[in-house]
Amino acid sequence: MATAELHRVTIHGHEVTYRMGGDGPAILLIHGMAGSSRTWKDVTERLVGDHTVIAPDLLGHGESAKPMGDYSLGAFASGIRDLLGVIGVERCTVVGQSLGGGVAMQLAYQHPELVDRLVLVGSGGLGREVNWMLRLLTLPGAELLMPVVFPRFLADKGDGVNRFLHQKGIRAPHLGEMWRAYSSLSGAENRSAFLRTLRAVVDPGGQTVSALDRIYLASGLPTLIIWGDEDPIIPIEHAYAAQGAIEGSRLEVMEGCGHFPHVEDPAQFVAILEDFIATTEPASTHTDDYRQILVAHSQGPAPAH
């Protein structure tokens, strides 16, 4: 079966890993917090027949480097821009899940010339509410408790848990995905990168970064919102708010799915994604177009000539 192979490249002195395969119009898949490109495995296997699929490990995640530095959405978006430049991808449909949704929106905002379509999956950055555990981990001193909460010996247990569930006839892909994220935090470097990433977008009160004040910029960009109706991390109300704020956007609610609909039901997820791509035209938005939209929505004086 065709799949996306793991590649490594050094950008700005830091190793970046990404999975890439297939042939055809490009689709970029951006994972969530404490995740990696591995989360898209079942999706990429279904897409590579007709598309070029790129799934990076964001810095601080997966097998990419975990340097000290900037883990903001803007920095992640710039890193995606640089990766696409290095591998020669000029434009793509951008799919972002959870934190990756925030990165996808930031990429579309900063670099509209790279984005054909926008797909937000259980996305962050669309409201204040978020799971209490993530809020708790932003408190001072959390880094001292994490070695106890996420001990190193658990790092190798994930595959065993998945095998046990499979042997018992229990299909629970969301548990496997959550366990992989949990076990990834057993290493000190991973925990440090995770906390830097988390605290850049969440505080004890909830999400601190919201795209809702500028989401109107996506009005000319074909946008699909996918959400699990049982998402315990980010409430589905954020999906409805985003749909209302993005003119012409499409909302698909996947019943019985939680925060990882692409893992929980990859066949349905890919069917929704492929239908969206087949029934929309890629955007041709460039920086000048965004400038015109910004001026039209601004309340200050027109720029001087």
Looking at the domain assignment, is residue 23 inside a domain? yes
Looking at the domain assignment, is residue 264 inside a domain? yes
Looking at the domain assignment, is residue 270 inside a domain? yes
Using one digit for the tens of pLDDT, what is the confidence trace for 148-167?
A: 455 544 545 555 555 555 55
Looking at the domain assignment, is residue 161 inside a domain? no
CATH no. for residue 125? 3.40.50.1820
pLDDT at 301 over 70: no
Report angle CA 17, 21, 23 to the nearest 5 degrees: 145
- The pLDDT, as a whole number, for residue 179 is 57
Percentage, residues of the chain above pLDDT 70: 81
Q: Exposed, middle or buried by CB within 10 Å (0-12, 13-18, 19+), for 296?
A: exposed
Looking at the domain assignment, is residue 188 inside a domain? no
Angstrom distance (rounded) from CA 174 to CA 230 = 11
Looking at the domain assignment, is residue 15 inside a domain? yes
How far apart, in Å, are the Cα atoms of 198 and each of 124, 126, 238? Answer: 11, 15, 19
Token readout for 101 is: 């949704």
Q: Is the dihedral of CA 126, 134, 106, 250 positive or negative?
A: negative
Could you tell me whether strands 115-121 and 92-97 are parallel, antiparallel, or unpaired per DSSP bridges?
parallel
pLDDT at 242 over 70: yes
Looking at the domain assignment, is residue 223 inside a domain? yes
**What is the dihedral angle through the alpha carbons of 59, 60, 65, 67, rounded to the nearest 10 degrees?**
100
Looking at the domain assignment, is residue 204 inside a domain? no
- The pLDDT, as a whole number, for residue 30 is 98
Residue 222 has φ and ψ, to the nearest 5°, of -55, 120
User: Going by C-beta distance under 8 Å and a sequence separation of 6 or more, which residues neighbour residue 136?
Assistant: 142, 204
Angstrom distance (rounded) from CA 66 to CA 248 = 38
Q: What DSSP string describes 201-236? A: HEETTEE----TTTGGGGGGS-EEEEEETT-SSS-T
Angstrom distance (rounded) from CA 148 to CA 151 = 5
Which runs of consecutive H residues, i.e. helices, occur in the chain? 41-47, 73-87, 99-110, 132-136, 142-149, 158-167, 173-184, 188-201, 237-245, 261-264, 266-278, 287-297
Of residues 221, 227, 215, 225, the one with CA closest to residue 280: 221
User: Going by C-beta distance under 8 Å and a sequence separation of 6 or more, which residues neighbour residue 230?
Assistant: 256, 257, 258
How far apart, in Å, are the Cα atoms of 92 and each of 18, 108, 233, 296? Answer: 15, 11, 28, 27
| Residues involved in catalysis | 98, 231, 259
Query: How high is the mean pLDDT of the chain?
Result: 86
pLDDT at 89 over 60: yes
Residues 61-81, mean pLDDT to the nearest whole number: 95
Three-state SS at 68? coil
Residue 267 has φ and ψ, to the nearest 5°, of -65, -50
Instruction: Give the range among 24-33, 174-183, 254-263 with minimum mean pLDDT.
Output: 174-183
Reported pTM: 0.89
Instruction: Give the range among 30-34, 43-47, 83-87, 180-184 with minimum mean pLDDT.
Output: 180-184
Of residues 102, 134, 181, the one with CA closest to residue 94: 102
- In which domain, by residue range, is 242 found? 5-130+209-297
- The pLDDT, as a whole number, for residue 57 is 97
| Count of the separate structural domains present in the chain | 1
Using one digit for the tens of pLDDT, what is the confidence trace for 23-51?
A: 999 999 999 998 999 999 999 999 999 99
How far apart, in Å, are the Cα atoms of 2 and each of 22, 43, 52? Answer: 8, 12, 12
